[in-house]
Structure 1
Amino acid sequence: MSPAPRRSATGGTRSKIPQVSWREPRPAPIILVSGAEEVCAERAIAGIRDQLRAADASLEVTDIRADDYVAGTLLTVSSPSLFGEPRLVRVFGVEKASDAFLSEALAYLEGPQEGATVLLRHTGATVRGKKLLEAIRGGAGGGVEVACPAIKRDADKYDFAAGEFSTVGRRIDSGALRALVAAFADDVTELAAACQQLISDVPGSITEDVVRRYYGGRVETTGFAVADAAIAGRYGESLITLRQALASGVDPVPMVAAIASKLRTMARVAGSREPSQALAARLGVKDWQVDRARRDLSGWNEAALAGAIQAAARADAEVKGASRDAVFALERLVTVVATRAPFGS
């Protein structure tokens, strides 16, 4: 019995073609690089180029835009040259493709040029090019799909960062990994750059002390540092850390998000007697996050937690424009959380 086709990173049609990890891309006549996570897509595209160039140094690389397309370009740049060098044609902006490109791309799938690799980048930002994507995923042209879905959940960010180190055979301590992800939780591209800097600069294992030496200011002034102090009831420390974070340029929006995220995890964990690993799998988080949330619940009761979550929802709206003073809204949230004061008091 053949396996069921898999849903694509851009949603919609299930794909019948091989799904390839962005960390381990492989050449094919047609390569669809789909999904919103740009850093992963860039890695995959560079990996394909490097593999083709390693196989034949005479590789010709051509970049074209699907949204600013000149009729006839795809066939011209993919056709064999006089000396028959391999060709890599990278097509960007497929989510905004012109009618001319979509028409010619569909025709190309019926007879890909020998020695040519055509790579199409579709971010999934629009449904533009749906017929083309369906044709590729249906097997036309003998393609593969490299899925690069957006990395949004905390668990996915930890997996991403851990993979940066494990891929090159480097070890990072769990505390160091948590500190690194917390420091760059708002930007996966910056997180990737930080991982690569540590890999390049630091021999041996990466410890939490190393992360703090490189990114100490950022580690200490993240929204998660503020959230940790407030949830633990350390009111004075949470306000000091909050002001340090604001002074260093941290935006109130992700700081509220960090506090709200920890409160939500606490609420989901509260009252459960499941083993950490089982509960983490069900909730889509890491088991250490479950353990941390259970520790954080010390000193909290149901009413205080509900009030803090209400306060976080209010602050979230206020820092996004419902109030003219985002800093005051954030300070009030920290006060409610750190003092366990009734919401609205």
Structure 2
Amino acid sequence: MATRRNSTDEPLAPLTLAVGQEDLLLDRAVQQVVAAARAADPETDVRDLTSEQLQPGTLDELTSPSLFSERKVVIVRNAQDLTADTVKDVKKYLAAPAEEITLVLLHAGGVKGKGLLDAARKAGAREVACPKTTKAAERLSFVRSEFRALGRSATAEACQALVDSIGSDLRELASAASQLVADVEGTIDEAVVGRYYTGRAEASSFTVADRAVEGRAADALEALRWSLSTGVAPVLITSALAQGVRAIGKLSSARGGGRPADLARELGMPPWKIDRVRQQMRGWTPDGVCTALQAVAEADAGVKGGGDDAEYALEKAVVAVARAARSGR
């Protein structure tokens, strides 16, 4: 989620600097400024320019005094790509910004165009951080913040299921959260997410794994056939199976029965997953974990060219994992 780097949270500050490469967050930073400007003056003139469109002299024209003293928002995208002469214009403007005008600079960050970035910060810009989300935990945090912003509650399992289902695209995650809020009443849980997004590749592969490590062979095979029929790559399924079995092994070998937060730090898992794996590990034995991992390894080799029938290799692995899950019962 976009975060601000200075003390001011006034969208109509003379200068807003949105820094990062996450398109959704950059667009939202722009939208917030435009919405605030039009709330103050519905006739606000908005100029949205690329770095190529902002030529030397253009900023002077856009920010020159108007007979009508109209409010104006000037947006400059990819500011790191501005020419040297245009950067001079911008720096000159920053020294004496015009009243009733809000300048929004979108900058990718990094070394390119750093002089302009430093000048904007020195001028006291209101800064919005829009970093590219590269970690699963960041996407999970984003989904949680989306539901909060929409005024709805969602369980930790539902948020994780949505991330597993949609993947890394923040626009799709935001759209999915909005759709769920519009269509579903009450708390959004994992079952709701599953009903809406069970056909997605990531979701269906993890569904296969979850049913298998729970010892539900028939359900796991049904999920497997559905996954394959919808085009899920077999390698995604073996990967999900491996992750599921390894999680069982890691938690079963952990010290004592610590709190989920403590175990999460020790094992490198999110707390919600600790609770889920605890439920799934009933019936597992150390020998069962070893047997299941071997079966998954054989299936993985099979789907990567070591066998003639990838579907059969997966079915065999799913049954072996489900049996292993019941070996201690």
Indicate the TM-score class for this superposition, using the shorter chain for normalisation: 0.7 to 0.9
Q: Give 1:288's aligned residue.
A: 272
1:77 is paired with a residue whose SS is helix
1:149 maps onto 2:131 in alignment: yes
Residues 221 and 318 in structure 2, CA contact (< 8 A), matched pair in contact too: no
Structure 2: distance between partners of 1:223 and 1:243: 10
Residues 1:18 and 2:6 are matched in the alignment: yes
Structure 2: distance between partners of 1:208 and 1:160: 17
CA deviation after TM superposition for structure 1 residue 253, in Å: 7.0
Give 1:131 deviation, angstroms. 2.0
Alignment of 1:238-277 (within 5 A): 238-250=220-232, 258=240, 269=251, 270-273=253-256, 274-277=258-261
Q: Indicate which of 30, 34, 46 corresponds to 1:49.
A: 34
Instruction: Check whether the contact 1:68–1:98 (CA below 8 A) recurs between aligned residues.
Output: no
Deviation track 1:76-126 (CA, whole Å, cap 9, x = no partner) reads: 2233322111211111123444334433333332222222211122234x5
Q: How far 1:193 moved relative to its partner?
A: 0.6
Per-residue Cα deviation, 1:34-70 (whole angstroms, up to 9, x for no partner):
2233223222221221111101112111011124542
What is the CA–CA distance in structure 2 between the aligned matches of 1:318 and 1:76, rounded to whole Å?
A: 66
Superposed CA offset, 1:226-251 (max 9, x none): 33234445566445423422432445
Please give the alpha-carbon distance, in whole angstroms, between the structure 2 residues aligned to 1:79 and 1:284: 56
Aligned partner of 2:180 in structure 1 is 198
Q: 1:49 to 1:236 in 2, by over 3 A?
A: same
> How far apart, CA to CA, are the structure 2 residues paired with 1:165 and 1:87?
32
Please tell me whether the aligned partners of residues 263 and 305 of structure 1 are also in contact (alpha carbons under 8 angstroms).
no
Distance change in 2, residues 1:291/1:324 (3 Å): same
What TM-score, normalized to structure 2? 0.74
Asked if residue 170 in structure 1 is aligned to residue 152 in structure 2, the reply is: yes
Q: Deviation string for 1:165-207 (max 9, x for gaps)?
A: 2223223345544443332234321121111122233444435
Residue 305 of structure 1 and its aligned partner are, at CA, apart by 6.5
**Maintained 8 Å contact 1:66/1:101:** no
Partner SS state of residue 222, structure 1: helix
Number of aligned residue pairs: give it: 317
- Asked if the contact 2:248–2:289 (Cα under 8 Å) also holds between the matched residues in 1, the reply is no
> Any idea what SS the aligned residue of 1:108 has?
helix
Q: Quick one: structure 1 residues 257 and 165, their matched pair in 2 at CA, closer, same or farther if it must change by over 3 Å?
A: same
Kindly state the Cα deviation for residue 318 of structure 1 after the two structures are TM-superposed: 11
| Equivalence for 2:327 | none
Q: Does the CA contact (< 8 Å) of 1:62 and 1:89 recur in 2?
A: yes
- Select which of 110, 134, 152 maps to 2:95: 110
CA contact (8 A) 1:106 1:132 kept: yes
The answer to whether the 8 Å contact 2:74/2:102 transfers is: yes
Instruction: Give the 3-state SS of the residue equivalent to 2:75 in structure 1.
Output: strand
How has the CA–CA distance of structure 1 residues 218 and 28 changed in structure 2, closer, same or farther, with 3 Å as cutoff?
Answer: same
Structure 1 segments unaligned to the other structure (5+ residues): 1-8
Aligned to 1:339: 320
Q: 2:10 aligned with 1:37, yes or no?
A: no
Task: Output the amino acid matched with 1:86.
Answer: R
Q: Which moved more, 1:208-217 or 1:300-309?
A: 300-309
Change in 2 beyond 3 A, CA 1:39/1:331? farther
What is the percentage of aligned positions where both structures have the same residue?
34
Which protein has the bigger helix share? 2
- Supply the distance in 2 between the matched residues of 1:260 and 1:74 (Cα, whole angstroms): 57
Instruction: Provide, for residues 195-224 of structure 1, a one-character-per-residue CA deviation record: whole Å limited to 9, x for no partner.
Output: 112223344443555444444544995332
- TM-superposed CA distance for 1:256, in Å, is 6.3
**Structure number, greater radius of gyration:** 2
Which residue of 64, 77, 100 corresponds with 2:49?
64
Q: 1:169 to 1:229 in 2, by over 3 A?
A: same
1:291-322 CA-to-partner distances (Å, cap 9, x unmatched) read 2234445526499569949x78x96x999xxx
The aligned counterpart of 1:181 is 163
Contact kept, 8 Å, 1:27 with 1:117, in 2: the verdict is yes
TM-score (norm 1): 0.72
SS, match of residue 127 in structure 2: strand
- How far does residue 146 in structure 1 lie from its aligned partner after superposition? 1.0
